[in-house]
Structure 1
C-alpha cells in the first residue's frame, strides 16, 4: 500500500480537490473547506486537513500579517497528477506536421558553458552586492539560449529589468544546484558539488534541471502548473506529436481549467512549449489544421520524484519517474578524437567529467550533439596557470584520444610546453625556470633597467611600468604565467577546477535543502517563494469541539426524542461543531448536515444525505417538529490513516466513553 493509499478516503478526496483547484499554488487557510463535498460535514473536512498536514501532503506558511496559507508541496504534485489526472493524448500523424521550432543544444550543455565561464572569470559582485552587469553581459554571449523565449518565461523579473535572460537562467540554475556559493568578493564554484555533478550521466542532469525549471519558471497559475506536469507524465511519450488544443480541451473537461481562463492558459502554455524546445527537450510544429503541436525528443527528462530535498524519496509511485539518477544505464566512453588541425571531436557518450577536464586545456567551440574543442597555445598556457604540467596534459590527451595524438599535434604541444612557464611573477619578484633563462634575461638590453638580479634564478622588478616590462618579456618569449584564476575566486579554491587525474567515485549528488533566494542579479529577487512567507512547523491548535465537556453525553450516545426546545439545542450544537445529526424523518433514519439556522420562525437548512455519494445529498429546510428522534454524529477517522492521531478524535472518544 502506497503512502497515498494509507490516507483516509476523506483525506484523499480533499487532497484531490485541492490538487485540481490549486495545484501547488498556496491558498488562504479555510478555503479548503469550500472545496469539500456537500455530503461531508465541516468537522470531517477539518480532520481530513489535519491528516494531510500531519502527513506532509499539505504544508503551512504564514505571512508577516499573520495570515496562514496552505499548499501542496511541488515535489508531490507529479505523483498526485499521475494518480488522478493522468493524460494520454492521441498521437498525431507526423507526416502532416510542419516544424516550427527545432530543439536547442541542451540545457545541460548550456550550464556546462556557464560553469566554465565561472571557473575562468568568476562572478564578481559590485558594491551593491549584485553580479556586475558587464559580467552578466559576457556570460550571456557565451550561451546560445534565445533571450526572447526566456524573457517571457522568467516570471520573477519585470521585462524591463531582465537584460540578460540566458545569463540569469544560468546563474539561477547554478545556485539551485548548489554549484556556486557566495563569498566576500563574488560567487565561485563549489568543488565537491561540481565533481559530483560532472559525474552524473546527462539524463540524470536533465532530470534534476527539469524539476528546477518546472518549479521556478513559467506562470504561477494553477492551470499552468498542471499543464507543465501533465506534459511530463508517462502518457506523453517521446517522439510522438500531440495536439496542444486537444490538451487544453482535456484540461477543461476535467475542470483543471475553466473556460474563462483558457485563453490565458493557452498563451502561458505556448511560452512553456517554446521554453522546452529552447532547452533541447522538445519540438514545436503546426498540424495540417494549423493547430499548434508538440513532441518530446528522445531525451525527454524524467521528473524527479523527491524534488531534490529528500522529503519524498519514499513516496511509492507506479511511475518511471521513480528512477534514481544512478540507475540509468551507463554507456559512457572516455575516448574522443583529436584531428591534425588541432580540433577535438567529442561524441555524445563521453562523460561530462572528461569534457570538463578537456575544457581545462582546450577551447570549447560547440556544445551541441557533437561537442568540439580546439587545442591552442593560449589554452595550454591557461592549463599551466592552473597548476598543471605540459607533459601531464600531453599524456592525458594521448591516453584519451581514440587512435592517439597526431604527430603534428604532439610536436606542437611539446614546443608550446617548452616555451611556456619559463618565468613566474610573484609580487615584485620574477623567478626563472632555469639559470640559462636567468642569464639570458640579465643580458637582455631592454630589460636591464627594469630588473635587478637578486640570485641565480631571481630578479626584483624595478620597472615603473609593469605593462611595459611584461611586453618586453613576451617579446623575448619569457612572458610569466598569470596568477591562478579570477580575482573573484576565494584563494583556497583557485586552481582546483580542472584535474587530469583519474576520476574517483564522487559522493551522490544532492540538491540543497532549500532553493536560494539571493539578491545576486540586477532586478528583484528571483523567487517562486514570497520572501514574506515563513514556514509554520507548529500550527496554532484550537479545540475541534469546544465546550465538549459541558455538552450532555446522551446527545451523541442515545437515540432519543426531545422536546422541541432541546431538539433545537442539539441541532444548534451540531451546527456550531460542524458535525451531522442522525434523524428520523417520516419513519426513515437519515443523516442531516446543518448549514444555517434562522429564528422567528426557527428553521434549520442543510443537506439531507441519501447514500454515500455527493449526488445523494439534497438541500432541505426543517423545523424542530419535522423529526421524531435524533442523535449527534461525530465523524470517524480511519485507523489506517497515515495521520498519527487526528486532533480531537481521541478526545471525543475519551469524553464520550467516560459518561
Structure 2
C-alpha cells in the first residue's frame, strides 16, 4: 500500500498529528500530501536525524525482517528478542507511527497490523542501509548474453518448455499482438463462469510466446487456472489493468476500449515497457523482504550498464542479516533469478550475461529511475501532428518489413490490412487479398492504404503492389454483411406503440414484417433506454461495443484483474489511536522509585520482584557483575529446589545467572531512564 492509499483511509486527526510536527511543518504546505513529504529523499534525510535511538533501530529491524509486508508487534518483538527489549520496540513503533513512517491498521476482530508504506521503502533503504553496487568496469566483450534456456540452467526445476524462445522485443510487443487478435474477433463472449471460451483463448494467444509458468514462478496466483494457462492469464491481466478491455453492461462479454489502447500506442516503446513493468512490479508488492531490497537496489542502477549479480546478492544479505538469521547465498541467488530476474528477462526489461563462464551480470533495458513516466497521460486520440518518417519497407512479394525503430502505432495501422508473418526484432507482415478485404470491410480505402505505405516507406512502393490493391478494391463484392440488432415485438400493437413514441420512432430502423425492427449498432443503447422509459424491459442478446466514457486509467487505481492481490492490508481500517509513552508501564507509581533511580543491592525476594516486573513490562535490567555493568533482556525467572535462575540475553548471548552472580541492579524503562543503555549500545555500533 502506498501513502496515497493510506491518506485516503487516514482520519483527519491522525494526519494533523503528523503534519503539525516541527520537522514536517518546515516542508509541508497547505496542499502537501503525506506521500510528497514522507517519500522525498531530502525530507527523509531530515526526518532520519530526528529519530531516537529506539525508533531508528526499530525501523531498521522492520526493514530487515518484514520490508513492506504487514506485521504484528508481537512478531517484531520475537524477531528482536536478542537485540531489543519489548518496551524498546513499543517505544520505537510509537514514535514511528507518530511521524507517519509506520501505519497501524485494525482488523475487524481487534488485532493490530503494522506496515511501512511501499513507496517509502527505497528512500529509507538508502538512508539506513547506505550500500551501493558498482557497474562493470571491464570490456563488454567479456560478457556473453544468456538465452532464456541458459538462464534456466542456473535455476533448478525449470522444465525444458519453460526455456522456449520468447519475443525478442519484450512484453509490450506481446501485449500488442494479443490486442490485435482481440480486435479481429467479431465478439469476446464470456461463459457463465465468467471466462473466455477455450477456443477463443487459443486464437487470442496465437502469437504470444512466454514461459508457461511465467506467473507462478514469481509466487503469484490467479483466478480460473483451469481455463487460462499462464501466458494467456498474463495477457488478459495486463489488458484489464491497462483498461484496454472491460466487461460489457451485462457481464457476458469483453469489449475493447479503443481510445485507451490507441492512447497507449502514442507513447515511445520505452514508455510502453515502463508501464507494463510498473504493473508487473506492483503485482509482486509487498514482496518477501529479500526481494524488496533486491528491487530497490536494482532500481537505483543506471540503465544500459552491467552490474554483478553476486554483488547484488551480497547487498541483500547485508540488509537482511540484522535479524541474525542465516541466509544461504546460493539459495538466495537462485530465488532472485527464478522469482524476479527470469521474468524480467523474458519481458525484455533486463538482459542477463555471463562473464567467462562464471559470474552472472544484469543490465536494465528500460530506465527504472523514470518509473514515474509509467503514469504519463498519453493523448486520447492518435496524433497526426508529426510528419511521417521512413520506417518500413514494402517488398514486391507484398511483404511489409518493420525495423526495430518502427512504432507500435504504425504497426497497429499496418496490422489493419495485413497479416503477421514473423514478430522478431524486424516484424514482417504480408498483404493478402483476404487481409485487404478485412480492411475494406471496416471502411478503409485502397487510396488510404497506399498513402500510408508511401508516407512511411524508405523506397518507392513497387508498382504491382499499388495496381493489385486498386484491383482488389474494384473487385470487392457489392453485397456486404452488416452487424445489426433485431428488435422483436410480441405483437403488432406493441410495434405500433413504439412508432407512436416520437423519441423511440427516431431510433427505429427498417421495419421487418408487422412486429420487428432492425436497430443499427450505434442506436442499441439509446433504444434500450427509451424502451425502459416506456415500461418495457427487452431481453438483451446483442453484444454491444459502445465504449465507456471513462478516461485512461491511473496505474495507482488498477482495474480488477485475474491475479490475486498481495496487498491484503487494504481491507482494514487505519487504527487512529496512539498510546502515550507512560501507558507502556501501567501502575508505574506502585513500584519503589529507587528501582529505576540507582544501582543498589537488593534482597533476593526484591530481586525476583524486579525481574518479574521487567518481564511484565518487557523492559531491561542493569546488573553490576564483577565491576562491569551488564544490560540484560530478561526472558524468564526459573525456580527449583536449589534456588532460582535469571534467563535472558546480553549482547546477543544467552545467559542463565543465579542471584549471587551479580551485586547491584536497576530496572531500566525505555523512554524514562534508558540513557545508560543507549550509551552502551552506541559504543557497540548500530545493528
Instruction: Report the CA distance between 1:192 and its aligned residue.
Output: 4.5
The residue aligned with 1:125 is 190
The residue aligned with 2:391 is 336
Among 554, 558, 571, the residue aligned to 1:534 = 571
Q: Deviations over 1:200-230 (max 9, x none)?
A: 2222222232233344469965445544554
Q: Does 1:635 align with 2:675?
A: no
Structure 2 matches for 1:348-427, cutoff 5 A? Answer: 348-388=404-444, 391-401=447-457, 405-420=461-476, 422-426=478-482
The residue aligned with 2:17 is none
The residue aligned with 2:253 is 186
Distance, in Å, in 1 between the alignment partners of 2:338 and 2:387 is 34
The residue aligned with 2:547 is 493
Instruction: Report the CA distance between 1:6 and its aligned residue.
Output: 1.2
Tell me, what secondary structure is at the counterpart of 1:373? strand
* Greater fraction of residues in helix: 2
Tell me, what secondary structure is at the counterpart of 1:142? coil
Q: Which moved more, 1:172-181 or 1:399-408?
A: 399-408
The residue aligned with 2:234 is 169
Asked if structure 2 preserves the Cα contact closer than 8 Å seen for 1:584 and 1:627, the reply is yes
The residue aligned with 1:238 is 304
Distance 1:6 1:539, change over 3 A: same
Asked if structure 2 preserves the Cα contact closer than 8 Å seen for 1:75 and 1:305, the reply is no
The residue aligned with 1:109 is 173
Distance, in Å, in 1 between the alignment partners of 2:183 and 2:573 is 39
Asked if structure 2 preserves the Cα contact closer than 8 Å seen for 1:240 and 1:295, the reply is yes
TM value normalised by structure 1: 0.65
Structure 2 matches for 1:48-67, cutoff 5 A? Answer: 48-53=92-97, 57-58=101-102
The residue aligned with 2:44 is 3
Asked if structure 1 preserves the Cα contact closer than 8 Å seen for 2:277 and 2:349, the reply is no
The residue aligned with 1:88 is 134
Asked if structure 1 preserves the Cα contact closer than 8 Å seen for 2:485 and 2:542, the reply is no
Distance 1:286 1:186, change over 3 A: same
Count of aligned residue pairs for this structure pair: 547
Distance, in Å, in 2 between the alignment partners of 1:622 and 1:186 is 75
Instruction: Report the CA distance between 1:47 and its aligned residue.
Output: 3.3
Q: Which moved more, 1:55-64 or 1:193-202?
A: 55-64
Distance 1:541 1:403, change over 3 A: same
In structure 1, the gaps of 5 or more residues are 311-323, 431-457, 463-480, 497-505, 519-525, 609-613, 638-659
Distance, in Å, in 2 between the alignment partners of 1:304 and 1:60 is 31
Distance, in Å, in 2 between the alignment partners of 1:490 and 1:287 is 56
Distance, in Å, in 2 between the alignment partners of 1:133 and 1:63 is 40
In structure 2, the gaps of 5 or more residues are 1-41, 149-165, 379-385, 487-508, 514-520, 525-540, 674-687
Structure 2 matches for 1:276-355, cutoff 5 A? Answer: 276-289=344-357, 291=358, 293-296=360-363, 299-302=365-368, 335-341=390-396, 342-355=398-411
Asked if structure 2 preserves the Cα contact closer than 8 Å seen for 1:429 and 1:461, the reply is no
Q: Deviations over 1:51-109 (max 9, x none)?
A: 54566655667788876554545544444555525433666765555554168331111
Asked if structure 2 preserves the Cα contact closer than 8 Å seen for 1:17 and 1:36, the reply is yes
Distance, in Å, in 2 between the alignment partners of 1:557 and 1:429 is 85
Distance, in Å, in 2 between the alignment partners of 1:187 and 1:60 is 39
Structure 2 matches for 1:590-629, cutoff 5 A? Answer: 594-597=634-637
The residue aligned with 2:204 is 139
Q: Deviations over 1:326-368 (max 9, x none)?
A: 9xxxx99754335253433334444433433443344344443
Distance, in Å, in 2 between the alignment partners of 1:488 and 1:599 is 80
Distance 1:517 1:555, change over 3 A: farther
Q: Which moved more, 1:394-403 or 1:57-66?
A: 57-66
Tell me, what secondary structure is at the counterpart of 2:557? coil
The residue aligned with 2:494 is none
Instruction: Report the CA distance between 1:19 and its aligned residue.
Output: 2.7
Distance 1:46 1:115, change over 3 A: farther
Distance 1:530 1:215, change over 3 A: closer
TM value normalised by structure 2: 0.62
Instruction: Report the CA distance between 1:253 and its aligned residue.
Output: 6.0
Q: Which moved more, 1:353-362 or 1:83-92?
A: 83-92
Instruction: Report the CA distance between 1:113 and its aligned residue.
Output: 1.0
Asked if structure 1 preserves the Cα contact closer than 8 Å seen for 2:290 and 2:320, the reply is no
The residue aligned with 1:30 is 74
Distance, in Å, in 1 between the alignment partners of 2:542 and 2:84 is 61
Asked if structure 1 preserves the Cα contact closer than 8 Å seen for 2:351 and 2:363, the reply is yes
Q: Deviations over 1:588-636 (max 9, x none)?
A: 998765554456867766667xxxxx68x99685869967785764427
Tell me, what secondary structure is at the counterpart of 1:493? coil
Q: Deviations over 1:512-569 (max 9, x none)?
A: 4256354xxxxxxx32528798334227777742635854796799669798677866
Asked if structure 2 preserves the Cα contact closer than 8 Å seen for 1:178 and 1:512, the reply is no
The residue aligned with 1:274 is 342
Structure 2 matches for 1:431-450, cutoff 5 A? Answer: none
Asked if structure 2 preserves the Cα contact closer than 8 Å seen for 1:75 and 1:306, the reply is no
Distance, in Å, in 1 between the alignment partners of 2:592 and 2:413 is 76
Tell me, what secondary structure is at the counterpart of 1:344? strand
The one of the two structures with greater contact order (alpha-carbon pairs below 8 A, sep at least 6) is 1
Distance, in Å, in 1 between the alignment partners of 2:329 and 2:552 is 42
